[in-house]
């Protein structure tokens, strides 16, 4: 288990350009020890695995998955712009269109060649856009309870997108909203305190709460309805929490029909935070797909 402070200390920082704005992006990066590869400090030949979170989470979502994958593969898990330990100041777009541009510039600086994308929630929307716009750049694609088509936004996020709501709620009210979101989004009744505290940690300042509101108001359905889903050529796994009411499995079934090479793997007893609900099964099926193309 890794707490949020340890995860933060493990992150690196870089700058990306999005719509002319220079933004700092924090990211977790790991992989097999360089000495065990070839002694030259090179990463493995396989495409790196890039993990993308959603709203209102951050890369800490992957704390029990990314390090396990890093035993065999290079992994990169960024905080989206406006989230986690990435830039939160006001004055830039947080939409998934802008997050796709962030991802493009980030990978341009870190990676030489194709990648595998593993994505949840709005991170899934970012991954779908990137895979459709850059089909040769994505080797494999894993989507979990991802926004797509017209499946979003949801009422909870819409409410947070109103600046007046954030102001009226104040720090305690926003924390209560987050407690509800992270608690109700799990299958079990008692959230892991480490998960709950870790997910809330980045939003504990006035600047962060404003950023959360900007992130919420940037949820634009048009950015997923305009995707050319048929252009996505990556081998795709839809690793979906079966009991989610926010991003129902019916949308995964639709993706399975529209994507060129997709298979659906359902995880029972899992709501929206499927990575937290079924961590061990999620890790197992993900590792199997990455290695063998089958969950």
pLDDT attached to residue 34: 47
Q: Tell me what pLDDT residue 36 has.
A: 45
pLDDT in tens, 126-139: 999 999 999 999 99
The pLDDT value given to residue 37: 45
Supply the range of the domain harboring residue 47. Answer: 4-292
Its pTM surpasses 0.75:
yes
Extract the residue ranges of the chain whose pLDDT is less than 50. Answer: 34-39
Q: What is the pLDDT of residue 42?
A: 75
pLDDT tens-digit series, residues 250-268:
999 999 999 999 999 999 9
Domains contained in the chain, number: 1
* 23 phi/psi in degrees, rounded to 5: -125, 135
Residue 258, pLDDT score? 98
Supply the CATH number for residue 286's domain: 3.40.50.1820
Return the exposure string of 209-234: e unless at least 16 CB atoms fall within 10 Å of the residue's CB, then b.
bbbbbbbbbbbbeebbeebebeebbb
């Amino acid at each position: 288990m890794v707490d949020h402070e340890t995860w933060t200390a493990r992150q690196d920082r870089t700058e990306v350009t999005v719509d002319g704005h220079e933004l700092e992006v924090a990211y977790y990066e790991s992989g097999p020890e360089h000495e065990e590869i070839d002694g030259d400090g090179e990463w493995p030949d396989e495409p790196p695995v890039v993990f993308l979170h959603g709203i209102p989470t951050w890369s800490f979502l992957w704390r029990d998955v990314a390090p396990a994958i890093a035993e065999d593969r290079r992994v990169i898990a960024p905080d989206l712009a406006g989230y986690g330990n990435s830039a939160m100041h006001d004055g830039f777009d947080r939409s998934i269109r802008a997050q796709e541009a962030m991802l493009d510039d980030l990978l341009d600086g870190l990676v030489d060649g194709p990648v595998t994308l593993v994505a949840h929630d709005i991170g899934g929307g970012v991954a779908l856009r990137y895979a459709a716009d850059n089909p040769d750049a994505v080797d494999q694609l894993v989507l979990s309870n991802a926004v797509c088509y017209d499946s979003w936004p949801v009422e909870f996020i819409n409410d947070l997108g109103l600046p007046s709501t954030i102001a009226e709620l104040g720090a305690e009210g926003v924390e209560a909203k987050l407690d509800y979101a992270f608690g109700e989004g799990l299958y079990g009744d008692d959230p892991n305190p480490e998960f709950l505290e870790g997910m809330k940690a980045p939003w504990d300042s006035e600047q962060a709460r404003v950023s959360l509101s900007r992130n919420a108001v940037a949820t634009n359905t048009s950015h997923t309805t305009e995707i050319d889903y048929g252009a996505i050529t990556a081998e795709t796994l839809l690793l979906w929490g079966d009991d989610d009411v926010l991003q129902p499995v019916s949308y995964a079934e639709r993706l399975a029909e529209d994507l060129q090479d997709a298979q659906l793997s359902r995880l029972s007893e899992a709501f929206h935070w499927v990575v937290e609900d079924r961590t061990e099964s999620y890790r197992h099926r993900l590792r199997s797909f990455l290695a063998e193309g089958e969950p």
